[in-house]
Amino acid sequence: MTATSEAQKPAEDGAQFSIQKVYIKDLSFEAPNTPQMFTEQWAPHIDLHLQSKAAQLEETVHEIVLTVTVTAKLGEKTAYLVEVQQAGIFTLQGFAPQDLARTLGSFCPNILFPFAREAVAELVSKGGFPQLLLTPVNFDAIYAHMQKQGADKEVEH
């Protein structure tokens, strides 16, 4: 049995998960200070920002958009700016609300990140810069942190 068919099988608790489509929704690459940047010693400061958004398309169908923004600077000059919106359409059925939120906020971005990482690496290389391989991201920890921040804000009010 393939991994895809395993993922689409009902879990023991009756929850079902499947990937309908993975695609690039938007991407951009800017290198505002080329060709001068190519003569500089390459020791950039890399800034990485991640954002994930979920939208319900149908009762059990959701679109997740993972936005990965990478800015590389040499001193005050921007060498390049890459932004990739990697999206996926997922079917989730039979999940408890808490499990659904965690799946949309952590599990789905984990699936999308390798695709976004590949797109970033390819754009940076095609832009004439040394390859950039983003390190893996712990979306479970990010989701837990965001949940804790939300709970803390609710307590403060």
Express as a percent the part of the chain with pLDDT over 90: 80
Distances (CA, A) of 41 to 73, 106, 128, 129, 137: 12, 38, 14, 12, 28
- The CATH fold assigned to 3-156 is Bacterial Protein-export protein SecB (3.10.420)
Joined together, the tokens standing for residue 86 give 């990697």
State the Cα–Cα distance between residues 112 and 85, nearest whole angstrom: 10
pLDDT band at 146 (very low <50, low <70, confident <90, very high): confident
For the chain, the structural domain boundaries read: 3-156
State the Cα–Cα distance between residues 47 and 123, nearest whole angstrom: 16
Q: Is the peptide bond before 35 cis (omega within 30 degrees of 0)?
A: yes
Reported pTM = 0.84
Compute the mean pLDDT over every residue in the chain, rounded to the nearest whole number. 89
